[in-house]
Structure formats: C-alpha cells, structure tokens
DNA sequence: TCCATATTTCAATTATTATTGAAATATGGA
DNA sequence: TCCATATTTCAATAATAATTGAAATATGGA
C-alpha cells in the first residue's frame, strides 16, 4: 500500500461517525449488519448514514451486499490488515522487527474462526538491517 | 482509547503530508529527526511543515524536543500502539482472537531493541464469548 | 553585538467535507 | 396493484481544514 491510499483510508476512519460504523462492523464479524440496524445502533439519520457508508465503501474499508430491500454491510478485513501493516512497516529501521504479517495480520485468526482450527503463530525475527 | 480520541488520531494521519511525516519518524526510530531535515526529505515549505508538525504533536502522535535552534521530532510509539489496538479490539465478537497486545503492540519489540533481549511472543487464545 | 538560520505565528484565501430535509428509487408483502 | 419501508440522490448550507507569504521569535556563532 502506498502513502496516498493509506491516507485516504485513515481520513475515512478519521471521523467519529465513520469510525463508529467501522468499529461496529469489525466487532460484528464477517456476517455484517443491515444498514438500518447500524443507523439505529448509532443514532444516525438515514441520509448521514448513507453518506458515510458510501464513503467507507468507496475507499474499500467496508462492503455492502444487497439482500432484498436491505443492504448488509461488513468490514473488509484485508484492507484493515494492509493499513495496519503500512503504519508499522519497517518500524525503527526494521531492526529486530516482528514481521508485519505476524504483528498485525488478522487473516489467520479469521481463517481459524472459519475452519475451527487451533490458532498458531510464529515469531520471525528480522535479521536484516 | 475511546472512539472520539481515536478518530482524532486517524484524522491526523489521514492527510498525505502528515502521514508521510509520521511514517518517516516511525521508520527513523526513537532518535527522531530534526524538523528541517523532515522538510527537506519531504519537500514541504517550512510554514506547511510547522502546521502539520503542530497538528501531529497536539494529538500526541509525535513529540518535539528542542536542541538549540533545532527541534528533534520523534514518533510516539505508545500512541500508535493504542490506536492499532483500538482498531482491532474485540474483532469478530472477540472469538478466538489474538489479544491486541500480541497482535499489534510494538512496545515489546522496542524494549528488545533497547535491552538486546531475544524477542518472545505468546499466543493467548481468548476463551470468552 | 550582529547575522544567519530554524521555527512559529499571523492573516487571508482557497479548498474540502459534513449535515440534513425533501424527493427519488427499489423492493417485498398485502 | 398499492403500500410501507430501506436506501440513495439531490441541493443548499454550514463547518472545518489546508496553503502560503510575510513577519515575528529564538538561538548559536562570528
């Protein structure tokens, strides 16, 4: 991920309503939440909600899936993972760093949720400098 | 960290110049970088640079330490850690989650850098939910 | 003291983003 | 078909943030 794209994602999350929406969806998990339910939970008028959902969708942090009259939104976890990886990448000259995929990638965890497999994690010390 | 504060941090990072400054400091490590050097590296006029440095300082993502005529800025890693922890907290209902301190806290790594101790990491499966 | 440089503050302008009511669209159910 | 509801689009306004030149401040060195 390059700086411009990351800034776009961070700006999208840098608004209280949108961050609340995103966090709600992150906690909700892959099944997502119907738009109107998000609005009820957060107390946002439909117009404002739609505006922010569109913004988050446009930058790729969430996605909406139509279900009849409803739209079910869910967090785009890979985007979040990449963003966090970007923020911490090559931290402190990359000395002795936990690799970004070990420190911040939540993909493995979600795979485990799906398969029921036990969680495992390796620590890889970066020998480079 | 609460949503409002996190949104403030994310908004601060959600600007290309500020994100570039922050990333430069994250990569530079705890020693930090003199303000004018940041400006040269990123090609920012001093006024604009000062504006963005003040913004990042105000929200607590960086700090400046005076050194004679110069100011040496460095990343506030604990703030970054808390922000990342906030983003991923209780992800997917907290089921089988890697704890946030294991997934995203870079404090341990920096402690290792300082002490020279070998990096170790434990995986703690969340039994709740 | 005087000068050069680092950084900030000020002020004015410009640009961008958020909010919201009203209207439009889409869909399922009666 | 007609209605109720979910969601979006439109349009106007309001609010906030970014940019930058010029001036001010601070500091070390000559």
> Rounded to the nearest 10 degrees, what angle do helices B77-88 and A77-88 cross at?
170
Cα angle, residue A23 at apex, residues A84 and A123 outer, rounded to 5°: 35
A55, A81, A92, A96, best to mutate vs chain B, most B CBs in 10 Å: A92
Phi/psi region, residue A120 (left: phi>0; alpha: psi -120 to 50; beta: rest), is beta
A39-72, pLDDT tens digit by residue? Answer: 999 999 999 999 999 999 999 999 999 999 999 9
Asked whether residue B97's C-beta has any atom of DNA/RNA strand C within 7 A, the reply is no
| R_g (Cα) of chain A, nearest Å | 17
What is the distance between the alpha carbons of residues A56 and A10, in angstroms, rounded to a whole number? 10
Rounded, the Å distance between the CA of A129 and C1' of D18 is 37
Tell me which nucleotides of strand D come within 7 A of a protein CB: 4-10, 17-23, 26-28
Find the distance separating the first CA and the last CA of chain B, reported in whole Å: 22
Measured between alpha carbons, how far is A83 from B26 in angstroms, rounded to an integer? Answer: 15
Backbone angles phi, psi at A34, to 5 degrees: -65, 140
Is the torsion defined by CA of A104, A105, A108, A114 positive or negative?
positive
* Residue A15: nearest nucleotide (C-alpha to C1'): C18
pLDDT by residue for chain B (129 residues), tens digit each? 999 999 999 999 999 999 999 999 999 999 999 999 999 999 999 999 999 999 999 999 999 999 999 999 999 999 999 999 999 999 987 764 433 333 333 444 444 444 444 433 333 333 333
Is B115 within 8 Å of chain A by CB? no
Indicate the SS3 state at residue A67. strand
Give every CB contact of residue B118 below 8 A, 6+ residues apart in sequence.
Answer: A125, B112
Calculate how close chain A gets to B126, using CA atoms only, in Å. Answer: 10
Q: What is the pTM of this model?
A: 0.81
> pLDDT digit string (tens) for B69-100?
999 999 999 999 999 999 999 998 776 443 33
Report the gap between the CA of B42 and the closest CA in chain A (Å).
12
Contacts of the segment A116-120: beta carbons below 8 A, 24+ positions apart: A118/B125, A119/B96, A119/B98, A119/B123, A119/B125, A120/B123
pLDDT at A112 over 70: no
Mean pLDDT over the full length of chain A: 81
Q: Which pLDDT band, with edges at 50, 70 and 90, does A102 fall under?
A: very low
CATH numbers and ranges of domains, chain B: 3-77 (1.10.10.10), 79-120 (no CATH)
Q: Do A17 and A55 touch, CB atoms closer than 8 A? A: no
First to last CA, chain A: 21
Q: Which of A49, A54, A24, A16 is nearest to A35 (CA)?
A: A49
């Amino acid at each position: 991920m390059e700086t411009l794209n990351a800034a776009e994602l961070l700006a999208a999350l840098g608004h209280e309503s949108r961050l609340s929406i995103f966090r709600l969806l992150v906690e909700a998990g892959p099944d997502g939440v119907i738009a109107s339910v998000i609005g009820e939970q957060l107390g946002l008028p439909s117009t404002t909600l739609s505006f922010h959902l569109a913004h988050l969708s446009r930058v790729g942090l969430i996605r909406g899936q139509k279900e009849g009259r409803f739209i079910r939104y869910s967090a785009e976890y890979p985007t979040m993972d990449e963003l966090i990886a970007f923020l911490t990448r090559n931290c402190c000259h990359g000395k002795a760093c936990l690799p970004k995929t070990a420190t911040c990638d939540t993909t493995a965890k979600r795979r485990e949720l799906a398969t029921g497999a036990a969680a495992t994690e390796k620590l890889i010390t970066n020998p480079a400098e």
